[in-house]
Amino acid sequence: MLDPKLIRENPDLIKKTCKQKGIKLDVDKLLQIDEEKREILKQVEALKAEKNKASEKIAQLDGEEKKSAIAEMQKVSEEEKKLIPKLQELEAEFLSLALLVPTPQSKETPEGKDDTENVELRTWGELPKFDFQPLDHVTLAEKCDLVDMPRGAKVAGTRSYYLKNEGAQLEVALLMYTWDKLIEKGFTPMIVPNIVNYQPMMGTSYFPGGEEQAYAVGVERVRGEGVESDNKYLAGTAEVALTSYRSDEILSQEDLPLKSCGWSTCYRREAGTYGKDTHGLYRVHQFQKIEQVIVCEANMEKSQEMHDLLLKNAEEVLQDLNLPYRVVAVCTGDMGQGQYYKNDIETWMPSRESYGETHSCSNFLDFQARRLNLRYKDNEGKIKFCYTLNNTCIASPRVLIPILEIYQQKDGSIAVPEVLQKYMGNKKTIDPR
């Protein structure tokens, strides 16, 4: 959520940002409601002030004069009561629209309609060259008995899977390696709730607007004679729980930045993506992820420093795995509503003959903090909204695609990346069965 003052003073900028990020919002209507709301609020506050003044006066009166003053105050109270419902209605209407207002992106953000117009910033690593006909990750997984997608679909529907044997070990090894790396860097490790309330989803800006991508849990259940609504959701990232952890709290500047990493199973419906990137393990409904989240002071230089740190951590993991990748600046049309600046990391996937997105790194400034009421007291005693940032440090099974395909051998075996071997009983290769 943006500062309402920023919206009032920059309506053209907000309209432009809505267009760039593909958000449908009647900004003029929002401003009109805001003006009406503030006008009625002034009237309500004036009536309250009049009541308070009258109360002080009444305490000093008696007899008919007191009765008359009380009657006048009752009239003021009736006026106030008439205005309160209208004020509440306008406040609710304003909030429903204000929650759709996007953050204006940074000057470094390229303008573009979708991910095809993201801008490559740099690459790392050499693309693999094979002296044999390489196989894709699905064929490799079948030969080595690492993944069972047919039975996954039988049990849980399309885009579901079982990881088994060394496939399961490899995923856990990846997560443990990343987990240990971030802990060594001073990040607080957390196993977070996967089932969350509406407020954290709204606070991290997944709602409203992203409901169709989330699995709702127990929306309606029969209980006795009535119907009970849980109003809970399966989170698509640990970011939701990590960023919401300190919601409605006032931190001290000395405690910042807060750096945490969350290990969670993630769930996404992937609505509207049928037929797109659905081969194998690229786009699935359930996956595991290590997410980094930083809460820092409201300082642009500090937030950039934290963004660079998050991105560096993710790049280091890929470099340790010796997986070629590129870093892109995400364009306006591919950004989320609240993102100020965003980078994606795309890892080389031989079977796709291209890079595929495996990581993202986002700076939200105070957008999420305003929704979550996440604040801090600075060294001068002023209360300010924090800045928040997050990054996917590793997500599986998607990252298994480049590992299986790049590390495949001529005989159909798969070499285990050196940094993961200790997590897999010092196994060096995964052999066909």
Catalytic site residues? 268, 283, 357, 360, 398
Strand partners, 321: none
- Token pair in block for residue 138: 């699905």
Radius of gyration of the chain (CA): 27
Integer Cα distance of 345 and 356 in angstroms: 8
SS (H, E, C) the chain: CCCHHHHHHCHHHHHHHHHHHCCCCCHHHHHHHHHHHHHHHHHHHHHHHHHHHHHHHHCCCCHHHHHHHHHHHHHHHHHHHHHHHHHHHHHHHHHHHHCCCCCCCCCCCCCCCCHHHCEEEEEECCCCCCCCCCCCHHHHHHHHCCEEHHHHHHHHCCCCCEECCHHHHHHHHHHHHHHHHHHHCCCEEEECCCEEEHHHHHHCCCCCCCHHHCEEECCCEEECCEEECCCEEECCCCHHHHHHCCCCCEEEHHHCCEEEEEEEEEECCCCCCCCCCCCCCCCCCEEEEEEEEEEECCCHHHHHHHHHHHHHHHHHHHHHCCCCEEEEECCHHHCCCCCCEEEEEEEEEHHHCEEEEEEEEEECCCHHHHHHCCEEECCCCCEEECEEEEEEEEEECCCHHHHHHHCECCCCCEECCHHHHHHHCCCCEECCC
Integer Cα distance of 29 and 241 in angstroms: 33
